[in-house]
Structure 1
Amino acid sequence: MKKQMLLAAMSLAILSAYAGAAPTDKAADVPLKPAAQQTQAAVWASRVLSRYHYKATPLDDAMSEKIFDRYFKSLDAEKLFFVQADLDKYADAKQKLDDAIVGENLQLPFNIYNLYQQRFAERIAYARELLKSKPDFTLDESYQYDREKAEWPKDETEVKDLWRKRVKNDWLRLKLAGKDDKAIRDMLDKRYANYMSRSRKLNNEDVFQIFMNAYAMSIEPHTNYLGPRASEQFDIQMRLSLEGIGAVLQTREDYTVIREVVAGSPAGMSGKIKVGDRIMGVGQGSTGPFTDVLGWRIDDVVALIRGPKDSTVRLQMLPADAGPDGKPVTIALVRKKISMEEQSAKKTIMEVRDGTVKRRVGVISLPTFYMDFEARRKGEKDFKSATRDVARLLAELKKEKVDNVLIDLRNNGGGSLTEAVELTGLFIDRGPVVQQRSAEGKVEVENDTVPGLAWDGPVGVLINRGSASASEIFAAAMQDYGRGIIIGEPSFGKGTVQTLINLDRFGQGDKARLGELKMTIAQFFRINGGTTQLRGVTPDIKLPTIADAENFGESSYDNALPYTVIKPAVYIPAGEVKDIVPLLEKKHQARVAKDKDFQYLVDDINYVKKQRKENMISLNETARRKERDQQEARAKLREARLAAAPSPDDPILVPDPKEGLKQAVSPKPASAKAARQAAAVKGASRTDDGLQGDERSLAAELEAEKAAKNAKDVLLNEAVHILADEVGLLKTDTRLASRVLPYTSDR
């Protein structure tokens, strides 16, 4: 079975792992060099990309110039390290990167990277030097905090001024949070030293992957090179399982720390591993020597901890409550298969009062369209599958007599094409779901061939800008069939299909580790002939738009494929949802106009959009204190609202008799940029503490995450209200019900 993926920016969060590159640290003064297998991987990747990509593009001088520009931007996205003179120095290389790949000599891109490391060290050293003198916060000057679209600094004077302002902003944030000058100096010096420490841990596998992605993404945004370890991580994310101990790890300073222990896993069952414990050493088997992992990259530590099922790994642990000189304890664990249940589909039931009656809406949250390809290929009966999980949840919701079902696809970046088709099949009685067009122009229709439905009642789909690819196929099909109401903001706009190509098939020797290409091979189209490319799926009922379309989504890419249309497939709509949308829209608008929480959210979104547009922050203490006071006033309003009794109109979460009361959880953002944008809105009413994530205590960080997880989800609540309204309208108007729900008209 082909691994056909439809991904925008699939999250690679895992159990006991971090998706990094290859192992080993390096000395700061040792220039990195390419490995022989990397030059081999590059040349084979170029042959595949230039011949078999959907947008096959020759690797020539024109492509070399694109790679050059993208490579420099990949290394220094915020334009804080290189100056224009550095790019000018390599001007002759602009048309030679193609020759470097074809000629199997990658020293040129590595030389560019080594210059980057040199500049990085210089800038950090300068930043630390600036800490010796206190900034003048009476000056009227500003700092541009997002420099992705800025020009390169023209010389050393300009780049030093940028860093002066950056350090000044870091200092001012901590000062406003109540820190004194000594504490600020110590904290920032440690922060900048950590930047340098992390930079020194990058190795030639990292550099090669950055360079190859500069090449791949110069062809088209969703084509990527995955190094051996990243490729393994991708497979783990798709099958939602791995063989390990069941602990989520995190780097804090030089320690690898236990961030979460998975219930029922070897780590959890042992009862000996606690959140906050630090891993000092890892030993293989019952008697193997321990490897000291203090100061290691987290992915290197993970590589030691993972291993074959039923094998033994021993950990030397420093307990969370022990000091640096505390006595480590040794814990032996037998590795098992760990299921990543947090990334699986989940259900909740929310109850809404409608006059004297209650409407029950089942909410299914689906973070990705996952599938264990290998297990399915082998014919295993219980292989992991998003569709299977959702079908099971729908059966449970039927038994619990819900009136409507909401599929929450917010920030679902995609996954398996097969899963997108089969999931749609749970709601329609056979028919085309999506069309694919190959590079040769051949159009194939992917059909749901399974008769019957898992759910024949009303259904809604909740999307946002982070809903991409497979999510868009499902939402578009539900919309084209008139089967469900699409609620939210316009989706990502990715209309391309990728497949994985293992480069080891071309390698020399049995132990070749060349990595994989995730390569675009087709474009998908809606059954109505349109495409989600660039435009995404437009909701039937729109909710406030949080994302910045200029910087996040398909339309933000400079080389995205164009929007186009093809001939519609032959299909019969399942219902006329459009007949009920105006009625629901009217109720929605009337309700949100009176909903304080909804209006607060709109206010916060507008505030963040204004900040994004301005892209400047004052470095004057008086002005910043005024801004902070305004933020604190906003925060107090929000806190007062949260402290008040909940509105009787709010949906109520129905307790699960098996698990007790739980809060509905939204998927995590699909990419770093999406995460930043979501965090910006959530943090719009909070006071800045000036700290970075790993500078807060682990307990405080976990508590903040828990609070955010359990916070009121205003958009989900409104979507549930809309579906409850739909139930009320359908129950009181049989003619409308027969048009909207033909599957149930004869019941």
Structure 2
Amino acid sequence: MTFRLRPLLALLIAFSVAITGTAAAQSAADMGASAPRKVSELPLKPTDTQADAALISAHLLTRFHYDAQPLDEAMSQKIYNLYFKLLDSEKVFFTQEDMANFAKYKDQFGNEIWNKDLNGPFDIFNQYILRAIDRMTYARSLLKQGFDFNSNDTYNTDRKNADWPKNKAELDDLWRKRTMNDWLRLKLAGKTDDEIRKTLDKRYSGYIDRTKQLDGEDAFQTFMTAYANSTDPHTDYLGPRAAENFDISMKLSLEGIGAQLQARDDYTIILSLIPGGPAAKSGKFKPGDRIIAVGQGTDGPMVDVVGARIDDVTNLIRGKTGTTVRVEIWPADAGQDGKYETVTLVRDKIKLEDSAAKKRVIDINEGGVDRKIGVIELPMFYSDFGARSEGDKDFKSATRDVAKLLAELKAEGVQGVVMDLRNNGGGSLYEANELTGLFIGKGPVVQVRDARGQVSVQGDDDTDMVWSGPLAVLVNRGTASASEIFSAAIQDYGRGLIIGTPTFGKGTVQTLIDLNRFASDPNSNPNYGALKMTVQEFFRVNGGSTQLKGVTPDMLFPTTGDDKDFGESTYDNALPWTQIPPADYKPVADVKAYLPQLELMHDNRVATSPAWQLMLDEIAQYKKLADNTTISLNYDQRQAERKQLDAVQADFRARHKAIDGNASVDADIDDQIDDGLNPNERSVKSELKEEEEAKKAPDPELHEAAHILYDALGLIHADPKLAAEVLPHGGKALADTSSAPASAASTPAVVH
């Protein structure tokens, strides 16, 4: 799995969702003793702890990284370029004059790290804050007089390959056009000038407030991410805040009150409640409630959190199971003079089931023949290694969850299974090995090569095949790392059909290193964060690599065209594709035996499928809009373009309704068109409604994958000889009834 820091502008715009979670390094009582930061004092300065963390990271990266590179002038230049890409990827804050002044740092970052002097990167970050505030202030000033939309001005929405503006005058013109476009979007949505001024002034002032809250940890996190990502795309530095969130994502559990939070204006609000959590059980919270203050224990002081960063509010609410927290809220349905309410909660362990494996059954009837196809959606290969090593019998594991779901699907009478790994970014290497064993039984799954060139073969040695019936794996460009290991093994063993679009192409293994282990004084309790470092490369059992090339499906679906912007091949410093000798393995079946027949049946079906044709038309429209990066700032032209787009969307909605009768597509047209607002400017109710409707939306790719398995079952039933080729065990059983759980043996926490 890859966690990458977004450019700072995107971070400021999003700056939204957090989940109240695991205990922070401080105790709850300590956290309650000090108020959250509101406005950082400039200039931000590096700390000794950060200088130590950078030095420790440099020693590890230059000695133990899979592709270790010296921290010299060449690497310094790579860091310099990526640092500015993270800070100002669209080139809307700095000018060529600024960059000329910064050039003195271009080959010095390595020396600064070795000398424990981080003043250079902090100087740049301080200048970034000033420039960002200046630009937003300038944008606010433009709102007073409004704009003339009768000109032939245009605005380029994609500036990643643009030049830096030459000077302030050119930068001002760029921001004039940016602000014009923001205004024009709202104007086209029917807003009055006064409404537009109010909305945009609030938006820009919010950016300014959040920029002022950026602190030294943000500066250090951004700089160290630039260093880590300069070694390879998947090595990352995780500061204390990021390391904690990474831990939560892998365990799929946390300790807290069970509420999803979002930053809105000066408040942190309740976005949603996690079922079964203390907040939900209390019956005192609802979406939209604003958090005013937080207190620790039954009588600790209440800390005002209005205007505070969302991660600071989260840290105040997080804490160990069994401890008490008091949350003062301004109810969503209370008026301006509404009464605040204080709710006392006891923190508990919360399971994040939304990210866990889920199942469903698709019933297909064709020609009077009914068949059930089971679907297992796996968002990531999660594992709670800590709970596993402590002997917790209920530790969270992707393999154990999938084994349980397979048993349930068998009991429901499914005849084929689709593993949906779309947008599964990876996770635990151990889980990838074990989960593959559920479908192939014992045997090698992946080959791993370390920095010394030594190759080891890893696999599942103690799990019997849990599912031996027809299998398909649905993948897309977002399928990466551990999910590519699984998909490649299923393909190499001939065990199932890989369906979809080519995958991401990540073929490296990372390990998470707690930098606190390297403190010179173990009693000093430093908080250096963690380094997620590439230490190995993995290869398929057939000897090939998924690096760069990914996994090519047996049956290809249409692509959205995002491969030019998304995937391993888009990184300048990605490792090259290589191969090694194959492992000693034996395919358990050969799905290629009926692949030509299935492709023909698929082609014939989708050629006359209204749903499939609609999907193709929507993809074509998406590509058209994505390729159009230069937009007009002329009102009449934009209005004409909007009417054309509205007509296209109306046609899509009508076709959706005719196909599936989905009530969500019959919504008012105003809910479907661009309203000019950012996500956190819409009502919480409408945002949650949109999320719910997205979950209910038709999924033609998934249903076609299920239909392909339906066809496969028909061919298997009609031809015992073919069944013996395409299914394990000679096709003697369409579904193995065993449901043995995966092994709970301890293993190093290697992640992707």
Measured against aligned partners, the alpha-carbon deviations of 1:608-627 in whole angstroms (never above 9, x if no partner) come to: 22232332111121221121
**Which of 190, 193, 205 is the matching residue for 2:205?**
193
CA contact (8 A) 1:492 1:554 kept: yes
Q: CA deviation at 1:124?
A: 0.9
Map of 2:615 onto structure 1: 601
Which digits, 9 at most, give the CA deviation of each residue in 1:252-287, with x for residues without a partner?
111111111122111111111111111111111111
Deviation string for 1:337-381 (max 9, x for gaps)?
Answer: 001111110000001112111111100000110000111112222
Determine the structure 1 residue equivalent to 2:20. 16
Please give the per-residue CA displacement for 1:280-323, whole angstroms capped at 9, x wherever unaligned: 11111111111111111111111111111111111111111112
The count of corresponding residues between Structure 1 and Structure 2 is 709
Q: Quick one: which amino acid aligns to residue 437 of structure 1?
A: R
Residue correspondence of structure 1 range 236-315 to structure 2 within 5 A: 236-315=248-327
The residue that corresponds to 1:105 in the other structure is 117
Structure 1 residue 324 displacement after superposition: 3.4
SS of equivalent to 1:294 = coil
Is contact 2:19-2:314 (8 Å) kept?
no
Give the match for residue 742 of structure 1. 728
In structure 2, the partner of 1:564 is 578
The match for 1:466 among 467, 478, 481 is 478
5 Å-filtered alignment, 1:310-349, equals 310-349=322-361
| Match in the other structure for 2:108 | 96
CA–CA separation in structure 2 for the residues paired with 1:706 and 1:90: 47
* Cα drift, residue 550 of structure 1: 1.7
SS in 1 for 2:562: coil
Query: Does structure 1 retain, via aligned residues, the 8 Å contact 2:426–2:481?
Result: yes
Is 1:707–2:693 an aligned residue pair?
A: yes
SS of 1:724's equivalent? Answer: helix
Contact 1:25 1:202 in 2 (8 A): no
Using the TM superposition, give the Cα deviation of residue 134 of structure 1 relative to its aligned residue in structure 2, in angstroms. Answer: 2.3
The answer as to whether partners of 2:238 and 2:529 remain within 8 angstroms in 1 is: yes
Does the CA contact (< 8 Å) of 1:143 and 1:166 recur in 2? yes
- Could you give the per-residue CA deviations for residues 92-147 of structure 1, whole angstroms, max 9, x where no partner exists? 21111111111111111100111111111111111111112222212222211121
1:43 aligns with 2:43: no
How far apart in 2 are the matches of 1:602 and 1:448?
Answer: 40
Equivalent residue, structure 2, for 1:512: 526
Partner SS for 1:62: helix
Query: 2:563, 2:270 → 1: CA distance?
Result: 37
Give the Cα–Cα distance (whole angstroms) in 2 for the partners of residues 168 and 595 of structure 1.
43
Asked if the contact 1:20/1:299 (under 8 Å) is kept, the reply is no
What pairs up with 1:446-525 in 2 under 5 angstroms? 446-507=458-519, 508-510=521-523, 511-525=525-539
Match of 2:647 in 1: 633
Deviation at 1:685, TM superposition (A): 11
Match of 1:390 in 2: 402
Counterpart CA distance in 2 for 1:136 and 1:176 is 14
Post-superposition CA distance 1:622-650 (Å, at most 9, x none): 22112111111112212222333639xx9
2:679 to 686, 689, 693: 693
Cα gap change, 1:8 to 1:210, in 2 (>3 Å): closer
Structure 2 counterpart of 1:696, which letter?
A: R
Question: How far apart are the structure 2 equivalents of 1:746 and 1:347?
Answer: 26
Aligned to 1:575: 589
- The structural deviation recorded for 1:586 is 1.2
Secondary structure of the 1:415 match is coil
TM-score for both structures, normalised by structure 2 = 0.91
Match of 1:531 in 2: 545
- 1:725 — aligned with what? 711
Q: Distance in 2 between matches of 1:242 and 1:10?
A: 22
Confirm or deny that 1:555 pairs with 2:559: no
| Equivalent position of 1:120 in the other structure | 132
Deviations 1:670-700 (A, max 9, x none): xxxxxxxxxxxxx999421111011111111
Between the aligned partners of 2:95 and 2:25, the Cα distance in structure 1 is: 27
SS of the aligned residue for 1:573 comes to coil
The one-letter code matched in structure 2 to 1:714 is P
Partners of 2:78 and 2:48 in 1: CA distance? 25
**Higher alpha-carbon deviation: 174-183 or 12-21:** 12-21
Q: What amino acid is aligned across from residue 20 of structure 2 in structure 1?
A: S
Q: In structure 2, do the counterparts of structure 1 residues 491 and 735 end up closer, same or farther at CA, with 3 Å as the change threshold? A: same
Q: Distance in 2 between matches of 1:496 and 1:684?
A: 46
Alignment of 1:59-98 (within 5 A): 59-98=71-110
Determine the C-alpha separation between the residues in 2 that align with 1:35 and 1:384.
37
Equivalent residues of 1:34, 1:208 under 8 A apart: yes
- For normalisation by structure 1, the TM-score amounts to 0.92
2:556 to 538, 542, 549: 542
**In 1, Cα distance between the equivalents of 2:321 and 2:460?**
36
Shift of 1:28: 6.2
Q: CA deviation at 1:24?
A: 4.5
CA spacing shift, 1:14–1:351, aligned 2, 3 Å: farther
Gaps of 5+ in 1: 1-5, 651-662, 664-682
Match of 1:136 in 2: 148
Q: 1:576 to 1:684 in 2, by over 3 A?
A: farther
Percent identity of paired positions between Structure 1 and Structure 2? 53
Task: Determine helix, strand or coil for the equivalent of 1:67.
Answer: helix
**How far did 1:547 drift?**
4.8
- Show the counterpart of 1:680: none
Q: Aligned pair 1:613/2:646, yes or no?
A: no
Q: Secondary structure at the match of 1:605?
A: helix
Instruction: Report the AA paired with residue 412 of structure 1.
Output: N
Pairing of 1:367-378 with structure 2 (within 5 A): 367-378=379-390
Cα distance in 2, alignment partners of residues 687 and 489 from structure 1: 29
- SS for the counterpart of 1:95 is coil
Q: CA deviation at 1:509?
A: 3.9
- Equivalent AA in structure 2 for residue 15 of structure 1: I
User: 2:327–2:344: 8 Å Cα contact kept in structure 1?
Assistant: yes
Partner of 1:438: 450
Q: 2:440 maps to which residue?
A: 428
Distance 1:728 1:446 in 2: 35
Letter in 1 for 2:511: T
Compute the displacement of 1:172 (Å): 0.8
- SS of corresponding position for 2:439: coil
Question: What are structure 2's unaligned runs of at least 5 residues?
Answer: 7-15, 27-34, 734-752
- TM-superposed CA distance for 1:233, in Å, is 1.1
Alignment deviations for residues 6-30 of structure 1 (CA, whole Å, 9 cap, x no partner): 5476999763269999994354662
Conserved 8 A contact 1:17-1:249 = no
* C-alpha separation in 2, matches of 1:355 and 1:266: 51
In structure 1, what residue type is equivalent to 2:644? Q
CA distance in 2, matches of 1:302, 1:505: 26
> How far, CA to CA, are the matches of 2:163 and 2:670 in structure 1?
29
Aligned to 2:161: 149
Match of 1:646 in 2: 660
Q: Distance in 1 between matches of 2:40 and 2:699?
A: 46
Question: What is the DSSP-based 3-state SS (H/G/I as helix, E as strand, rest coil) of the residue aligned with 1:644?
Answer: helix
Partners of 1:14 and 1:689 in 2: how far apart?
25
